Amino acid sequence: MFRRIRHNWRPVKGQPLTELDKKVLYYQNKGCLVPSRHLIKTPEQIEGIRRSGVVNTGVLDLVESKIRAGMSTAEIDKLVYDYTVSHGAIPAPLNYEGFPKSVCTSINEVVCHGIPSDDEILEEGDIINVDVSTILDGYYSDASRMFIIGKTTPEKEKLVRVTKECLQIGMEAARPFGFVGDIGHAIQKHAEKHGFSVVRDLCGHGVGLEFHEDPDVEHFGKKGTGMLLVPGMVFTIEPMINMGTYRVFVDEEDGWTVMTEDELPSAQWEHTFVMTENGLEILTY
């Protein structure tokens, strides 16, 4: 049997191997999945993504200050569009693979990719994920938060809190020259400890020069699996955690809205991160 090694990492032709080359090639030769060189952002690109993240965070702060019972999700969409465009940026979801709005708004049993609508009015006790993605000068950033409308049940409150903890724990599990699977393992352990489940069908992703780049960042799995984490990689962690089954389905009518199969609530928090020599740094604070 041959071990199939994906030779993603190629030294630059005609130049001596750098320390980084040697380190990544060591893992590649062991059979590990390593990033290709273009996934390693330059300091200039990281600064561009950081500036995009500042606008993205401004959008989420604005939504946080305005969101309330009685508001439609279309009003949230308008806030997002107006703020983003007035800051010289573009909402990344708008027209992305046919997505019709500027932001994803996902209420209660909607897991993600909910489409804002005039007919959808926020009610006391709802939990909603607002997922904002911004393009500034060609650089993409991506983050989402949960909002609790008024007072909700202790169970939904716990789901929102534990999901936020999952993001934090996933972030802390990611080490330079560790693996993407370390993140998913830590998240799954925490979610399941609290009796919740981790959505399998959607994942975090590389981001920065495009909306969705390699690697896939799964929120479940085994330590030491998946792609090697190399300083300069930029990606999201965005755990979707369900109160009941992890199984989800896509609404056939709109082709976007992802819902839990058992109609129990789901929560999600997301940040864009850059891997540094010392671990992850948040670019969407």
Q: Tokens 């071990």 sit at which residue?
A: 3
Per rule CB under 6 A, is residue 270 in the interface with ligand MF3?
A: yes
Measured CA to CA, the distance from residue 188 to residue 141 in angstroms comes to 25
Q: Residue 285, Cβ neighbours under 10 Å: how many? A: 12
Per CB under 6 A, which of residues 101..130 are in contact with ligand MF3? 104, 113
User: In sequence order, what are the beta bridge partners of 143?
Assistant: 132
Q: How far apart are CA 68 and CA 62, in angstroms?
A: 12
- Of 164, 188, 160, 185, give the one whose Cα is nearest residue 174: 185
For residue 145, state whether it binds ligand MF3 (rule: CB under 6 A): no
Task: State yes or no: residue 142 binds ligand MF3 (CB under 6 A).
Answer: yes
Among positions 209-248, residues that touch ligand MF3 (CB under 6 A) are: 238
Q: Least separation, in Å, of the C-beta of 234 and ligand MF3? A: 13
**Contact stretch for ligand MF3 (CB under 6 A) within 37-45, 77-85, 96-104, 168-176:** 96-104
| Options 109, 131, 182, 213; binder of ligand MF3; rule CB under 6 A | 131
* Two tokens, residue 129: 């994920």
Q: Which stretch binds ligand MF3 (CB under 6 A): 20-28, 50-58, 93-101, 239-247?
A: 93-101
Q: How far is the CB of 99 from ligand MF3 (least distance, A)?
A: 3
Q: Letter for the amino acid at 147?
A: F
Q: What is the DSSP string of 29-76?
A: HTT-----GGGB--HHHHHHHHHHHHHHHHHHHHHHHH--TT-BHHHH
Half-sphere exposure of 47 (CA within 13 A, CB side): 3
Nearer to Co ion (CB atom), residue 61 or residue 210: 210
Confirm or reject binding of residue 129 to Co ion (CB under 5 A). Answer: no
CA 56 to CA 285: how far, in whole Å?
9
Backbone angles phi, psi at 54, to 5 degrees: -65, -45
C-beta of 71: minimal distance to ligand MF3 in Å? 20
Among 236, 242, 257, 260, binds Co ion (CB under 5 A): 236
Q: Smaller CB distance to Co ion: residue 172 or 210?
A: 210
Give which of 98, 92, 99, 168 is closest to 132, Cα–Cα: 92
Tokens of 56: 């993205």
Residues 46-85, one symbol each (x = binds ligand MF3 by CB under 6 A, - = not), give ----------------------------------------
Provide the minimum distance between the beta carbon of 27 and ligand MF3 in the complex, in angstroms, as a whole number. 27
Closer to ligand MF3 at the Cβ: 97 or 252? 97
**Residue numbers of the site for ligand MF3 (CB under 6 A)?**
93, 96-97, 99, 104, 113, 131, 133, 142, 238, 270
